[in-house]
Structures are given as structure tokens and as C-alpha cells.
Structure 1
Amino acid sequence: MNRMEPLRTIEAGVLEIAYYEVGPADGPPVLLMHGFPYDIHTYAEVAPMLAAQGCHVIVPYMRGYGATRFLSDATPRSGEQAAFGADLLALLDALKIDRAVLAGYDWGGRAACVVAALWPERCAGLVSLNSYNIQNIAKAMEPDTAENEHSLWYQYYFHSERGRAGLAKDRKALTKLLWQLWSPTWPFDDATFARSAAAFDHPDFVDVVIHSYRHRFGLVPGDPAYADIERRLAAQPTITVPAITFDGIDDGVRPPADASAHAHRFSGPRSHRLVPGAGHNLPQEAPRTFADAVLELVPALRSQTTSSS
């Protein structure tokens, strides 16, 4: 089984970020961002596909996962969307990457959407599962359909101290259940889950997860360091960069939608695609589909990289 090793580390913002790197250093940069509850091995097949086409691929562990660590004990263990975007921006700065294709899903897709919306000059193109993945916290307490509320049970569970205790008690059993529910047609085996679940044995995993699912509902305050970013996100900024968005038809947490559902949030070129036989973890369930989407956005970046060399 392909393990993404060795890892590199770099200080970026409030974190020491651990990341996997593959492909030519002078190739067009692509950052692949994982979600909850997954890890960098989501991209174990996608990353080499992109590297084989000449891309410089970076796959970081997000805060609270794997070998990524907070630099200070005093930093709040925030899981808010502004923190994810700030982490990604800080990583681009630390790696001296001016502009990259940003691709992700779930938490990682949210980080990519935040950077694409607020710092479009840093994003040459966006690949995002579930389309516009920026939370509208002001409307978070508005009820959804009964079916959609049912699929969000885990979020409401995490609002309680019972949920925090449950996650801390057996994070692997709970996250494996989420894998099964969110990707019901994906026949992953125990070894595949175990390879990723090792990343959840992190001292800050529970704190970051719980804060994330409470903050998005306005139940807890955010880190004051990200207040300005959250204020800008509250305006639901439009994404102007070229984008390819996906929904897995079998997604068990976010029901698939047609392109019109989020069309008003994209003002640049956008292609929206539904993927049959795939659930919430699209890069691992349909790696070729995901890699090909990234490669569609690379040519303009490759041209820019070549002309500036």
C-alpha cells in the first residue's frame, strides 16, 4: 500500500506544517487539501498522477492531524474556516509559492475556497467538492430538510460534551462510521482506513474538531486572530478564479446538487460535475476524475511558470 513518505516540515503562521511533496520543483504548483476525518493519503493515487504530468505537488496535514503541530501551547485550537484559510495562505507564503492550483474537499476544500475568494491572486484555479464551501454562519441555525438534518447528526453530537467525550473515547470507531455513511458505495478495507486513522492520534485532534463543529453554528467564539477574515467571509464573497466543482452522487453527508445551486457564488469560469459511484471522499474514490480536473486548470499556470523562469 502506497504510503506518502517521507514528510517535510516548515513553519507557517502558527503551525509547523508537515507535508508530502512530489514532482519537479520547477513544475506548476498544486496544493491538495484533505478533509475531516481523512488525511493526506486521500491523495495517494492523485499526487503521483499529477507529478507524472510535471506538477509540483504539495499535500499538507491540516491543523490537528498527523505530524502538523502548533508552535505555541497558547494558540487557540480553532477549527473555524478562517483558520483553515489562514493556514493555507501561510503555507503558500512559507513555501514561496506565489500562485497555485488549489484543490480539496470538506475542510480542505473550505480552505481552498477561502483563499480563492479572499486572495484570488494566489489561486490559479480551484477544484472543490460540494461547490461553494464557505460557511454562512449567520444562517447556520436555520433548519434544513428532515433528510439533510438527519445526515448532520454527528455535528449536533459534537455540540454536546457527550459528543466530545465520545470522540475522545474512541475516535477511530466514530470516524470509521463516518467513512461508511458518507461513502456508502466505496469498498475501502481496514488497512486503508488504518493508514489514515493514524493521523487522528494527534494531541489537538479532538479540540480542533469540536471547535470546528461548534463555531460553524455560532455556539462558540472564534480565535480573535482570525476575526477580520471571518468578517470578510460573512459577506459570502464571490469566487472569481476558474473553478471545477464536483458532487458525488452517493455522497452521504452533502446531497448532490446541480450547477445552479451555487452558480451565484462563482463569477469566473466554472464547470460543475456529478460523479456517479462516488461519495464524499472523491479524490480517493475516483482519483483519475479528480486528477484530470486539476490538470484542466494547470495549463495557464504552467504557461505563467515557464514565462517567468
Structure 2
Amino acid sequence: MTNTPGRLGTLRLTRSPVLDIAYFEAGEPNGVPVILLHGFPYDVHSYVDVVPALATSGYRVLVPHLRGHGPTRFRDPATPRSGQQAALGRDVIEFMDALGITSAVLGGYDWGGRAACVAAALWPHRVLGIVSVNGYLIQDVSSSVEPLPPEREAGFWYFYYFLTERGRKGLTANRRAIAEVIWRRNSPLWAFDDNDLNRAAEAFDNPDYVDVVLHSYRHRLGHADGAEEYVADENFLATIPPITVPAVTLDGLNDGNFPARDAHAASEHFTGPFEHRQVPLAGHNLPQERPADFVDAISTVTELAKGRLA
């Protein structure tokens, strides 16, 4: 699968043991690989302004559609449509394997930031460094019964909605509308328009979207078992392992659900070279809202990783 190159590069297809992964590629084929990972309910267009800047700087830029999104498909109808954190992290490594990439810089936010953190914790020798919006995103599933402050619980209304059959029906029928409600809460200063939302919503038409999304939230809240193939990975993640690779974390000062932290608070669980930045005027979808800040973070973490590149 290919198409005419655009701002995200050329659309391609590769095959992992579990998925046929659709991804965009741009930049220098022999450049440092950087893999950009989107969140929920968003899509690859979160990086529409990040990709050209990184490609021009000499990176090999790769932006996959996550499982359950866009043209990415499960190879086997019998494969559990898991959205758990271990599945997302392993998808990144298997994507790299499929393309023959030994190691890469990973960047992400929301689900994509979690995938980057999981990959870095489980396979640090494959990760040159990471940029993660909202910091350390590995979930402590064992603490899912502990309440958050009420204001944050209100912002996470969809976590609980998705536990119900009503939520399944609602997500099936109202994918775009649910995304819009979440976008407005997550990024109160982001002046997105109908074109932005419609473009992202095309990725939600994937036949596995609803199942993957529901499993993600049900698993993290302890209401669904994980897939058998990820048990060992989840057991390791339950120890809340440190991330030892170079890292830059970003907090948007106008994120509607995740209050910005100072460098000391953000550094917990990062034991390698580390920087934390607060980004003015940014909400949750930081790469699309403040692309220059995200690009600069990728450049910084690449510098921090120079010893691993040698």
C-alpha cells in the first residue's frame, strides 16, 4: 500500500506477527529513526506539522496507525482485540522488527506515550530515547480502585461509560461526537475545526476500533482480563519499572485533565538522562497544538542519546 506523499509522508503497509500495520514514512531513509505514536481519540494527524520539520532535519520519520485505528488490521479474526498497555508496547517493537529497525527514538502522547514508555521499560536496548507527554504513563492496574480527585474523575467520564453496554453502543454510534467532547475537555484552548475532527474521525471507522478501545479502559480499571500472550509483560509492568533510557517529558499548561508538574515530580521513575518541560498554551494533544515544542523535544532527546547512537 502506497500513496502520493503528503505532509505525513508516504502511506505504506508492513506486517507484524499480529497486525497489518499502516504507517506513514518521511525523511531520510538512513537517518535516525523516530517513531511517532498517537493517542485516543486521535489519529496520525496529530503529527501533521511535526513530521515535515523532523524530516527536513534528517530523521527517518515513521507514524503508524495504532491497533484499531485507520487502515491497520488484525491478521487473524481469532486474535483478542486487546487494547491493554502491554499490547501497545509490543506493537511498537514488532513494528520495528518488521522494518528491520534495531533501535529508534520514540515519541508519543496519551496511548502513544504509554506505548513508548512500555517499550522503553520492557526493551530498553531497542529504544534510543523517548519523548512522552504527561510523563511516565505505565499503568498501575492494581491501584485502579483508588479514587482520583473529583475534578479529574469528571474529566474521565468515558472510562466509566466504556465499562457499560450503553457505552459500547454509544461509542459504536457516536465515535466522532465522543471524540469532540473529549477533545474540548482535554484541550480547552485548542481552536480545532470540523476539518480537523472529520480527518481524525476517519481513523475511527476501523472495524476493531470499538473492541480495542473498550478493552483498553476495561482492562486498566480491572474490569477485563488481559490477553494471555501479554501476561508476562503485564506482570513486569505491575512492578512499575524505571525507564532508564534518555527521556524528555512535556506537560501542557492548559491540559484540561492532566495538571502540569514541576521537574522533580515529573522525574519519578525516570533514571536516565532526563529533562522536563512545561509548554504554555498546550493541551493534551500537544504535538498538534504546539508542534515546534514537540520537535524540539525530539531533537533534545536525540542529543541526550548520542552515546547510544555511537
Counting only pairs closer than 5 Å after superposition, residues 1-309 of structure 1 correspond to structure 2 as: 4=8, 6-299=10-303
Task: Report the CA distance shift for 1:138/1:77 in structure 2 as closer, same or farther (over 3 A).
Answer: same
Output the amino acid matched with 2:54: L
Provide the identity percentage. 52
Q: CA deviation at 1:250?
A: 1.1
**How far did 1:258 drift?**
1.9
CA distance in 1, matches of 2:307, 2:135: 26
TM-superposed CA distance for 1:300, in Å, is: 6.2
CA distance in 1, matches of 2:284, 2:133: 8
Give the superposed CA RMSD.
Answer: 1.4
Task: Please give the alpha-carbon distance, in whole angstroms, between the structure 2 residues aligned to 1:160 and 1:253.
Answer: 22
Q: Which runs of 5+ in 1 are unaligned?
A: none
What is the identity, as a one-letter code, of the residue corresponding to 1:248? Answer: G
SS of residue matched to 1:212? helix
Unaligned segments of structure 2, at least 5 residues: 1-5
Output the amino acid matched with 1:59: V
C-alpha distance in structure 2 between counterparts of 1:22 and 1:5, whole Å: 4
Looking at structure 1, the residues matched to 9 and 59 of structure 2 have their Cα atoms a distance apart, in angstroms, of 18
How far has the Cα of 1:304 moved from its partner?
6.4
CA contact (8 A) 1:28 1:301 kept: no
TM-score normalised by the chain length of structure 2: 0.95
Q: 1:92 aligns to what SS in structure 2?
A: helix
How far 1:299 sits from its partner (Å)? 3.8
For normalisation by structure 1, the TM-score amounts to 0.95
Q: Distance in 2 between matches of 1:158 and 1:143?
A: 17
Q: Quick one: which amino acid aligns to residue 240 of structure 1?
A: T
- Kindly tell me: are residues 60 and 44 of structure 1, through their superposed partners in 2, closer, same or farther at Cα, counting changes over 3 Å? same
AA aligned opposite 1:23: G
For residues 120 and 225 of structure 1, the distance between their equivalents in structure 2, rounded to whole angstroms, comes to 20
Give the match's secondary structure for 2:268: helix
Deviations 1:23-54 (A, max 9, x none): 01000110000000111111011011001000
CA contact (8 A) 1:137 1:217 kept: yes
Letter in 2 for 1:125: G
The alignment of Structure 1 onto Structure 2 pairs a total of residues equal to: 305
Q: Distance in 1 between matches of 2:158 and 2:306?
A: 41
Is the 2:8–2:26 Cα contact (8 Å) retained in structure 1?
A: no
Deviation at 1:169, TM superposition (A): 1.1
Describe the shift of the 1:94–1:301 C-alpha distance in structure 2 as closer, same or farther (beyond 3 A): farther
Q: Residue type of the partner of 1:234?
A: A
Whichever residue aligns with residue 167 of structure 1, its letter is L
Aligned partners of 1:148 and 1:301: how far apart in 2?
35
Measured in 2, the distance between the counterparts of 1:20 and 1:195 equals 15
Q: Which runs of 4+ in 1 moved over 6 A?
A: none
Residue pair 2:250, 2:278 contacting (<8 A) in 1 also: yes
Letter in 2 for 1:36: F
